Structure 1
Amino acid sequence: MEKGKGVVARRWAIDFTDNSISPSSRDIPDPLGYARASSDQDDSTVSRQKKDAEANWKAQKAWEVAQSPLKNLLMMGFMMWMAGSAVHLFSIGITFSALWQPINALQGVGKIFEPYKDSKVDILAPKLLFIALNLVGLALGVWKLNTLGLLPTHASDWVSSLPPAQEIEYAGGGIPLH
């Protein structure tokens, strides 16, 4: 016989077009860990939960980014301590690195927090923390500059720019020798 021609019932054939068994029948117990109610939820509820979860994730990541300068502060403080207070190439390089990193970070605050912008996420507080920690890093760099004696904080640092002192007293006397 040709395939598809004639009606020959196969002994082990399963007919999947049988409509007597519906997927919603309660005759078959649910497997362990499966909750039928969770699959029956409204799509709007699921999408709202996904949006809430995404907003929570963005808020958490924004706080992580805001706290990242703290690790840099600790590392940079240790490096400056190890460099010592003598003026040499290594200590000057570490100090200028300590100044450059916070300045660059402060210039790019908007770009850094751009991926975390959302109507449900308030990123003002993480931004303020990020700015405050970078300002502390900048202050640490300025303090190290002062420790190295590279900031003009004493009057002797400005002597070369002061005009010569005017003489107010003249002394003369004696007999001129010719």
Structure 2
Amino acid sequence: MEKGKGVMVGRRWAVDFSDNSAAPSSRDIPDPAGFTRAPQDQDESTLSRQKKDAEANWKAQKAWEVAQAPFKNLLMMGFMMWMAGSTVHLFSIGITFSALWQPISALQGLGKVFAPYKDNKVDLLGPKLVFTALNLVGLALGVWKLNTLGLLPTHASDWVSSLPPAQEVEYSGGGIPLY
């Protein structure tokens, strides 16, 4: 090997960088195995698409977590109602009305609860249905507790005051006066 052709004489693996004419260009070096050259724009669009897919998966996962959150509330509220007992007093009535109010307010704010997870790629129908069903179960639990406390008018005797008086079937009148 001659001096001036990019390789120095005497050293087998030494390269002389002072002469640029003999230096191989980046196009002459083959790509490593598994590496393909692609335009930068395509890589950015692929990364952007992957980022959007990952974000959509994250949103779907979080939406399901929010949908299943009322289940924990059901267990806690059921335990509190059990501890309150079946007698009518201030604590049991407060717990019962809390058990009724929480699902109602949660169902009213259904759109706000799932607004952060709204995306074209995320299907929110399933999480919304689960959220609604669990809150309806909580509402039913509160109504059941009202019934066990005797605060729901479920018997005929609860409606007696609103019934018209019964028609008289018999009557008596006259007779022989005894003097």
- Please tell me the TM-score bracket, short chain as reference: 0.7 to 0.9
In the TM superposition, what is the alpha-carbon distance from 1:172 to its structure 2 partner? 4.3
Q: Paired residue for 1:79? A: 80
> What is the one-letter code of the residue matched to 1:129?
V
Higher relative contact order (CA 8 A, sep 6+): 1
> Could you tell me how far 1:139 is from its partner in structure 2?
0.4
Matched, 1:111 2:112: yes
* Comparing 149-158 and 167-176, the one that deviates more: 167-176
Residue equivalent to 2:124:
123
Aligned length, in residue pairs: 153
**1:142-153 → structure 2 map (5 Å cutoff):** 142-153=143-154
Matches within 5 A, 1:13-162: 42-162=43-163
For structure 2, the residue ranges without an aligned partner over 5 or more in a row are 1-17, 21-25, 27-34
Displaced runs of 4 or more, over 6 A: none
Letter in 2 for 1:74: L
Return the TM-score normalized by structure 1.
Answer: 0.76
Q: Percent identity of the aligned residues? A: 85
Note the aligned Cα RMSD (angstroms).
3.1
Displacement of 1:160 in angstroms is: 0.7
Q: Distance in 2 between matches of 1:50 and 1:115?
A: 17
Rg: which structure is higher? 2
Q: Residue type of the partner of 1:54?
A: E
CA deviation profile, 1:30-70 (whole Å, cap 9, x unmatched): xxxxxx88xx8811111111101100000000000000000
Report the AA paired with residue 63 of structure 1: W
Aligned to 1:127, what secondary structure does the other structure show? helix
* Greater CA drift, 157-166 or 57-66: 157-166
Take 2:133 and 2:103, find their aligned partners in 1: how far apart are those partners? Answer: 10
Could you tell me which runs of 5 or more consecutive residues in structure 1 were left unpaired when the two chains were aligned: 1-17, 25-35
Q: Which amino acid aligns with 1:160?
A: S
The alignment's TM-score, normalised by the length of structure 2, stands at 0.75
CA distance in 2, matches of 1:155, 1:177: 44
> SS of the residue aligned with 1:90?
helix
> C-alpha displacement at 1:171, in angstroms?
2.9
